[in-house]
Amino acid sequence: MMRVAILISGSGSNMVRLIESMTGAHPARPVLVLSDRPGAGGLARAAALGVRAEAVDRAAFADRAAFEAALEAALAPAAPDLIALAGFMRILSAGFVARHAGRIVNIHPSLLPAYPGLATHARALAAGDAWAGCTVHEVTADLDAGPILGQGRVPVMPGDTAESLGARVLAMEHRLYPAVLRRLAEGERGRIDL
């Protein structure tokens, strides 16, 4: 059974979909949800789903090294095989990534390599793109640049705003992330396209 820790910063809608997918014959189980923000709405949602949920408050630490040491201390008892970032708004250091090499994945709201970083939907609209989407990738020391495990594509519609496009992409994220997680738990690293 693959043990999965999920890291969040916000409402955690992707986290909820991941947790809900890991039931029955699924070869993975959620063991821990961590947030860098104590006020993240996702913490209560995780707890309501019966998953241990804790905050490691970034604001309580002087620097990233101290924060990551606390993150490691919170993760260690859960002994995760996989760390799934789901709206986790912190950049992990090269050292942290190296300690968990090949065992951290992230979901990003663009068709990488297009639009790493923030404001992805506004940038896709400004560029006049016909398609947008989301990517699940392995996390490496380079931001939003690790090997791609899956992508989900949605059309850009006439009159779209960043909000309307973002909602369409988020619905695709909710399909893609559980699909990629399941494949990983089954030992498959082949890319999925939705």
Radius of gyration of the chain (CA): 16
Q: Give me the least distance between CB of 132 and ligand GRF, in Å please.
A: 12
Residue type at 151 in one-letter notation: Q
124: Cβ contacts below 8 Å, ≥ 6 apart: 110, 114, 115, 132, 156, 165
Q: Which of 12, 80, 133, 146 binds ligand GRF (CB under 6 A)?
A: 12
Positions annotated as catalytic residues are: 108
Should residue 82 be labelled a site residue for ligand GRF when binding is judged by CB under 6 A?
no
Q: Which of residues 123-162 bind ligand GRF (CB under 6 A)?
A: 134
By beta-carbon proximity to ligand GRF, the closer residue of 44 and 73 is 44
Should residue 107 be labelled a site residue for ligand GRF when binding is judged by CB under 6 A?
yes
Going from the C-alpha of 33 to that of each of 20, 40, 163, the distances in angstroms are 13, 11, 27
Total residues binding ligand GRF (CB under 6 A): 15
Residue 191 carries which DSSP code?
A: -
Q: Give me the least distance between CB of 21 and ligand GRF, in Å please.
A: 14
Q: Give me the least distance between CB of 124 and ligand GRF, in Å please.
A: 13
Stretch that binds ligand GRF, among 3-11, 73-81, 92-100, 136-144 (CB under 6 A): 3-11
Q: Give me the least distance between CB of 150 and ligand GRF, in Å please.
A: 13
- Rounded to 5 degrees, what are φ and ψ at 42? -65, -25
Q: Which of 1, 11, 65, 66 binds ligand GRF (CB under 6 A)?
A: 11
Q: Which of 2, 4, 13, 105 binds ligand GRF (CB under 6 A)?
A: 13
Q: CA-CA distance, 21 to 65, in Å (whole number)?
A: 33
Taking each helix axis from N to C end, the angle separating 13-21 and 41-48, rounded to the nearest 10 degrees, works out to 20
Tokens representing 144 are 């939003």
Among residues 135, 80, 82, which one has the least CA distance to residue 104? 82
Q: Which of 114, 162, 170, 179 binds ligand GRF (CB under 6 A)?
A: 170
Among residues 107, 145, 149, 151, which one has the least CA distance to residue 132? 151
Tell me which residues touch ligand GRF (CB under 6 A): 8, 10-15, 86-87, 107-109, 134, 170, 173
